[in-house]
């Protein structure tokens, strides 16, 4: 047995070293140990441009039922981002609804609140909103019981009426436009 060395002490030393390495890795790093982070340099006006509504929707999360999660915002841009993020056939319907509303009410104000587009008149409040569900888009007329004819969908709220739009439905654009014009003339909701 002369000339042979035991490997037991070497194995034990490796285990101890491994445990010490694991313990050291678990320790939080001090600021001096961390690599310095740098902000990337600005690359001129091209880098400063905001992404388009299409580019912004690539990272848009869809909530339950397929409703896009869009940050609260006022103006046309957040509404267009919402419309672009609407899944499947709903996006085209959203573009059509938005165009009909703009054509019917020239001074319409827009916003996204609670992950839904809102349409209103400045100083008078919101008159219309819509929301995506799994199989349809639900239009909410906030003073719907005052519209003629009254939109078909009932609500638990006294004055609200709904219009549900499914994929294969033919939207009666003339009736929808008439409702939008009527709704825009009524006192809106303050939200």
Residue 10 or residue 121, greater confidence: 121
**Whole-number pLDDT of residue 16:** 55
Average pLDDT, the chain: 79
**Mean pLDDT of all residues in 164-191:** 94
What Cα–Cα distance (Å) separates residue 66 from each residue in 77, 116, 128, 131, 135? Answer: 20, 12, 20, 10, 9
| Distance between CA atoms of residues 102 and 140, nearest Å | 17
Whether 8 has a pLDDT exceeding 50, the answer reads: yes
pLDDT above 70: percentage of residues in the chain = 67
Whether 39 has a pLDDT exceeding 70, the answer reads: no
- For the chain, the domains span 61-185
| Distance between CA atoms of residues 78 and 93, nearest Å | 17
**Whole-number pLDDT of residue 18:** 58
Which structure tokens are listed for 27? 């320790």
Tell me the pLDDT band of 70, cut-offs 50, 70 and 90: confident
Q: Dump pLDDT digits (tens) for 112-171.
A: 999 899 999 999 999 999 999 999 999 999 999 999 999 999 999 999 999 999 999 999
**Whole-number pLDDT of residue 32:** 46
**Whole-number pLDDT of residue 166:** 96
pTM of the model as a whole = 0.67
Topology at the third CATH level for domain 61-185: 3.90.1150
Whether 105 has a pLDDT exceeding 80, the answer reads: yes
**Whole-number pLDDT of residue 11:** 60
Q: CB-based contacts of 24: which residues, under 8 Å, 6+ apart?
A: none
**Mean pLDDT of all residues in 32-49:** 42
Q: Dump pLDDT digits (tens) for 79-101.
A: 999 999 998 999 999 999 999 99
């Amino acid at each position: 047995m002369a000339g042979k060395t035991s490997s037991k002490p070497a194995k034990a030393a490796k285990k101890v070293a491994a445990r010490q390495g694991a313990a050291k890795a678990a320790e939080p790093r001090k600021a001096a140990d961390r690599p310095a982070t740098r902000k990337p340099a600005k690359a001129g006006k091209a880098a400063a441009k905001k992404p388009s509504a299409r580019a912004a929707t690539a990272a848009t999360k869809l909530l339950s039922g397929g409703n896009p999660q869009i940050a609260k915002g006022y103006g046309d841009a957040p509404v267009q981002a919402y419309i672009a993020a609407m899944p499947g056939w709903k996006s085209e319907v959203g573009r059509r609804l938005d165009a009909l509303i703009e054509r019917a009410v020239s001074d319409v104000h827009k916003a996204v609140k609670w992950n839904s587009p809102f349409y209103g008149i400045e100083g008078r409040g919101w008159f219309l909103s819509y929301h995506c569900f799994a199989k349809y888009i639900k239009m909410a007329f906030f003073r719907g019981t005052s519209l003629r004819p009254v939109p078909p969908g009932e609500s638990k709220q006294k004055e609200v009426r709904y219009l549900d739009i499914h994929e294969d439905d033919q939207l009666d654009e003339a009736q929808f436009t008439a409702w939008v014009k009527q709704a825009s003339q009524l006192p809106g909701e303050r939200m």
